[in-house]
Amino acid sequence: MLLSYLKLAWKVLLRRKFFTFISLFGISFTLMILLVLVAAVDHVSGAHAPEKRLDRMVFVNTLRQYFKDGGTMSTPVSPYFIDTYVRPMKTPEKVALSSVTSSATAFAGGQSLTLDVRYTDGNFWQVMDFDFLNGRAFTGAEVAQGARVCVLNEHSALAFFGTTQGVAGREVEIGPYRYRIAGVVPDVPVIRLYSSADVWLPYTLGNTDFKDRRYDGEMIAILLASEAGAVPGMRQEFEQLMKRVPLADPKRYNRLSSHADPALASLVRQLTNQHDKESDGMPLFLTACTVLALLFMLLPALNLVNLNVTRIMERSGEIGVRKAFGASRRVLVGQFIVENLVLALLGGLLGLGLAAVVLTLLNESQFVAYSHFGLSWRAFGLGLGLTVAFGLMSGVYPAWKMARLNPVDALRGSGGGPQ
């Protein structure tokens, strides 16, 4: 019976090409957009190298200081703030620091290069999981000594030397200084906000005086928990800590605030302006995303319902003939549901193919530098499941309605009453 349904469904879809095209376009385009958006979000906040342990990390990336006469100043934090208040915390397994990226100029092969530079400490290489192509990371001792060492990404190493092998130990000139290369790592997409760079340098070589006792600076604190379950306790400890941090300048400021948030939550806090609240806004953000995704997936379902009602009304004569020859309501409803399921599955597979093509083009175009967008099979499964569910929903009502028609009325092509 199922094989007969499938054969009939395939013939009907081929016979009604315009209907099939419109339906497939709606399903595949919707699923493609969903997969591309999920890939983009995963690229920002997913656990990928070198941020493989993202579920155990929180980030202190903004300190907000409130002026007495009104207004605020929001900046990254200083090494002094991290060393004095964050590193002594009890719950983190390890605390690292990393600067926001800055630009530096270098010359390679007679061409000028603009490099993204990130300043870090030795713990940064223990918190992040880089796979070194050559050499090693610089150590905490080298950072403390202010040694002029660096780590290059693969792209920069190729630009300077044409290879990534045998590079460790050689020197490279960046800006006015020469640095000894400690190691080379794979390119990190620039959208990885806490780890990406072309060149990594010890923070003690930065332009900012790391011994300055100011709270505001150019650094981000990265806190690593011993396990994912310890993250809430680590965040809570930081919230309690901030209540005890004295004002840097009581004459200018009357209050300060900062939060230790996971990667995505830190972005959401910025977008939703939750600086003064302990909640990072994630529950509201996730609820809004879920509702929008469901509404977005509902569009092709509504389109299918309208098209199905029209299509089934046009086939009233066929339904009348089949009922006259003894086809039951169950058989007729089953036929229309199978047709919709076949259409939904074809649209889902087409959407998967389109998403793969779009993501490949994005990777090759390097619209996001060093990007490696990939398909999320979990998102595809969810999207396809929703598509099939909506396909069932869009087929059941019109099929049930037509299956109840009186055979005589169906043969006349009228919308007569049910049998």
Percent pLDDT > 70 in the chain is 77
pLDDT at 390 over 80: no
pLDDT at 326 over 50: yes
Residue 319: predicted pLDDT: 66
Instruction: Tell me the mean pLDDT in the region 221-243.
Output: 96
417 pLDDT tier (thresholds 50, 70, 90): very low
325 pLDDT tier (thresholds 50, 70, 90): low
Give residue-wise pLDDT tens across range 165-180: 999 999 999 999 999 9
Mean pLDDT over all residues of the chain? Answer: 84
Give residue-wise pLDDT tens across range 153-167: 999 999 999 999 999
Ordered strands of the 63-67 beta sheet? 72-75, 63-67, 253-258
For the chain, the structural domain boundaries read 2-46+284-412, 63-258
277: tokens are: 């609240």
318 pLDDT tier (thresholds 50, 70, 90): low
> How many Å apart are CA 262 and CA 55, to the nearest integer?
8
Give residue-wise pLDDT tens across range 57-95: 999 999 999 999 889 999 999 999 999 999 999 999 999
Give residue-wise pLDDT tens across range 97-125: 999 999 999 998 788 999 999 999 999 99
pLDDT at 327 over 90: no
Percent pLDDT > 90 in the chain is 46
Long-range pairs, 296-302, Cβ under 8 A, ≥24: 296/30, 296/33, 296/34, 297/30, 297/34, 297/383, 297/386, 297/387, 297/390, 298/390, 299/26, 299/30, 300/23, 300/26, 300/27, 300/30, 300/347, 300/387, 300/390, 301/390, 301/391, 301/393, 301/394, 302/394
Distances (CA, A) of 68 to 54, 62, 71, 149, 274: 37, 19, 8, 43, 20
pTM: 0.79
Residue 387: predicted pLDDT: 65
Residue 194: predicted pLDDT: 93
Residue 416: predicted pLDDT: 46
